[in-house]
């Protein structure tokens, strides 16, 4: 079971050229992995609820993680890289909205990570993330152990998300399931954030300056007190729903939790956001759109909600509204890779390929491995009669694993107009393997079969 799964619906990846140039700055010295710990969270009966990551920031045993890692836990064991295991003794600070916790383990002299200055973090700064993958956690003779993984990338931006009062570091350093609460580091291996939201490529870290003022807290609470408080906590209820949705795949249970949250607070944006995702998976599209529209009324600058709403407008044929929402998302978050690609696709659909082109070219610069973006870019080139460029973009899309019907038709049309009949014929053969009864493809193949090869 993996409780730290907080998934959203946007795709990011690491730009390989920028990635390697940035990573080369950091390989001079290794991050102090002895200060990064695996958290094993257990309920009152001793059963494991889930795992997370934390890191020690003060040598007497003060560590940081996410609040959501602790939800419903009656105890937490801290496992160090060398296998040593100690229990969490006290909870020194909980912030349910910003989703962090400061914990105290038994007195000792512990290895630490150095805290950096997250207020100076800017787009394109190097970043890396370190955490324990939940699926790697095993237990041998009662001793848990896990795989500590480090990923590399760069900062895509610093923006608010569901809560306009504070910002997150958006990073291309990927967070695996279980990274929640782990450190996000700058080029000097100083902590600039904690891994908070992860999913299909979206990686958000809470800046460390949001936590730093509380590191000297002395007032403590027990896990029993936390459990008691969380019985009526809308945030705890939200995280239970989030886990039901993304961890268990139980849509009905997730919807029930989110609706209970919204009874307590109708403007709880994250509950509305994930409720929309659950309704989407249930096929309740009109309700999904309505929920996203409500989110935007509450928080007009929530970039993922803007992009997702644009996506639903796009799929339901409301193209002008789709363009508007994608433009809003990119205005809020200029390096929003999926929104840039989707904006390009929507502009292509409304015959504004020249406007689409710079958005799609930027998408590829940020993420050279984004296959769908190459398809969208190919469509722009095709509409502008730049056929050689279109062919290259479509071919790259195929190379990156994109394989759907309209792509092969576009490749056929491009090859055919370029006079490359052999390649055009191969695309028709692919189309007929996908749809053996396709009359148009059969007719075009018959014509090409009698034409001279080029």
- The whole-number pLDDT of residue 277 equals 95
Residue 205: strand pairing partners: 169, 195
**How confident is the model over 249-274, as pLDDT tens digits?**
999 999 999 999 999 999 999 999 99
Closest alpha carbon to 419 in 452, 448, 454:
454
- The whole-number pLDDT of residue 449 equals 80
Residue 115 gets which letter from DSSP? B
**How confident is the model over 91-108, as pLDDT tens digits?**
999 999 999 999 999 999
**How confident is the model over 154-213, as pLDDT tens digits?**
999 999 999 999 999 999 999 988 999 999 999 999 999 999 988 656 799 999 999 999
Q: 167 in the Ramachandran plot: left (φ > 0), alpha (ψ -120 to 50) or beta?
A: beta
| Phi/psi of residue 95, nearest 5 degrees | -125, 105
DSSP output for 202-240: -EEEEEGGGTGGGTT----B-HHHHHHHHTT-HHHHHHH
Q: Which two tokens stand for residue 21?
A: 């140039």
**How confident is the model over 217-238, as pLDDT tens digits?**
988 999 999 999 999 899 999 9
Residue 172 gets which letter from DSSP? S
Percent of the chain with pLDDT over 70: 92
Closest alpha carbon to 211 in 175, 241, 184:
184
- The whole-number pLDDT of residue 18 equals 37
| Phi/psi of residue 104, nearest 5 degrees | -125, 125
Cα angle at 400 between 399 and 402, to 5 degrees? Answer: 95
Tell whether the model's pLDDT for residue 312 goes beyond 60: yes
Task: Report the alpha-carbon distance of residue 36 to residue 30 in Å, rounded.
Answer: 13
- pLDDT band at residue 15 using 50, 70 and 90 as cut-offs: very low
Closest alpha carbon to 129 in 115, 154, 150, 157:
150
Helix (H/G/I), strand (E/B), else coil: 283: coil
Considering the entire predicted model, what is its pTM? 0.88
- The whole-number pLDDT of residue 116 equals 97
Write down the residue that tokens 């705890």 correspond to: 236
- The whole-number pLDDT of residue 391 equals 96
Round the CA-based radius of gyration of the chain to a whole number and report it.
Answer: 25
- Across residues 384-413, what is the average pLDDT? 96
- The whole-number pLDDT of residue 454 equals 52
Closest alpha carbon to 350 in 387, 313, 385:
313
- The whole-number pLDDT of residue 74 equals 97
Residue 159: strand pairing partners: 168
Task: Report the alpha-carbon distance of residue 261 to residue 245 in Å, rounded.
Answer: 14
Tell whether the model's pLDDT for residue 392 goes beyond 70: yes
- The whole-number pLDDT of residue 24 equals 39
Q: Rounded mean pLDDT of the chain?
A: 91
Instruction: Give 278 or 145, the one with higher predicted confidence.
Output: 278
User: 241-246 long-range contacts, Cβ below 8 Å, gap at least 24?
Assistant: 241/271, 241/274, 242/5, 242/6, 242/68, 242/274, 243/3, 243/5, 243/50, 245/274, 245/277, 245/278, 246/5, 246/6, 246/7, 246/199
Residue 168: strand pairing partners: 159
Task: Report the alpha-carbon distance of residue 256 to residue 252 in Å, rounded.
Answer: 6
Write down the residue that tokens 């268990």 correspond to: 248
Q: Which two tokens stand for residue 15?
A: 């730009």
Task: Report the alpha-carbon distance of residue 434 to residue 404 in Å, rounded.
Answer: 9
């Amino acid at each position: 079971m993996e409780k730290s799964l907080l998934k959203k619906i946007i795709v990011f990846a690491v730009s390989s050229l920028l990635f390697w140039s940035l990573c080369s700055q950091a390989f001079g010295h290794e991050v102090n992995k002895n200060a990064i710990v695996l958290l094993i969270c257990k309920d009152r009966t001793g059963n494991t609820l889930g795992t997370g990551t934390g890191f020690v920031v003060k040598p007497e045993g003060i560590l940081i993680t996410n609040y959501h890692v602790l939800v419903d836990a009656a105890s937490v064991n801290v496992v160090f890289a060398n296998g040593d295991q100690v229990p969490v003794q006290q909870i020194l600070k909980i912030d349910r909205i910003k989703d962090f916790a400061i914990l105290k383990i038994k007195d000792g002299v512990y290895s630490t990570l150095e805290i950096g200055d997250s207020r100076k973090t800017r787009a394109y700064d190097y970043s890396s993330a370190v955490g324990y993958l939940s699926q790697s956690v095993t237990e041998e003779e009662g001793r848990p152990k896990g795989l500590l993984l480090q990923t590399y990338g760069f900062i895509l931006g610093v923006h608010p998300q569901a809560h306009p009062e504070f910002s997150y570091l958006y990073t291309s350093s990927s967070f695996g399931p279980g990274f929640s609460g782990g450190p996000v580091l700058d080029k000097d291996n100083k902590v600039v954030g904690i891994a908070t939201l992860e999913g299909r490529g979206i990686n958000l870290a809470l800046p460390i300056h949001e936590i730093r003022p509380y590191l000297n807290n002395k007032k403590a609470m027990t896990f029993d007190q936390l459990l008691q408080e969380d019985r009526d906590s809308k945030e705890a209820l939200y995280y239970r729903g989030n886990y039901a949705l993304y961890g268990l795949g139980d849509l009905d249970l997730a919807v029930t939790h989110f609706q209970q949250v919204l009874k307590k607070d109708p403007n709880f944006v994250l509950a509305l956001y994930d409720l929309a995702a659950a309704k989407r998976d249930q096929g309740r599209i009109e309700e999904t759109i309505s929920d996203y529209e409500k989110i935007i009324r509450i928080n007009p600058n929530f970039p993922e909600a803007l992009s997702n709403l644009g996506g639903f407008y796009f799929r339901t044929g409301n193209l002008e509204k789709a363009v508007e929402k994608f433009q809003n998302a990119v205005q809020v978050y200029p390096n929003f890779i999926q929104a840039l690609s989707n904006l390009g696709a929507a502009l292509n659909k409304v015959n504004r390929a020249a406007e689409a082109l710079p958005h799609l070219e930027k998408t590829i610069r940020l993420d050279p491995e984004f296959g769908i973006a190459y398809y969208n870019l190919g469509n722009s080139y095709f509409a502008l009669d730049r056929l050689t460029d279109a062919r290259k973009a479509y071919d790259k899309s195929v190379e990156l694993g994109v394989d759907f019907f309209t792509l092969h038709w576009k490749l056929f049309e491009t090859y055919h107009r370029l006079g490359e009949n052999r390649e055009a014929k191969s695309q028709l053969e692919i189309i007929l393997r996908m749809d053996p009864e396709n009359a148009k493809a059969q007719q075009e193949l018959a014509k090409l079969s009698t034409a001279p090869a080029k």
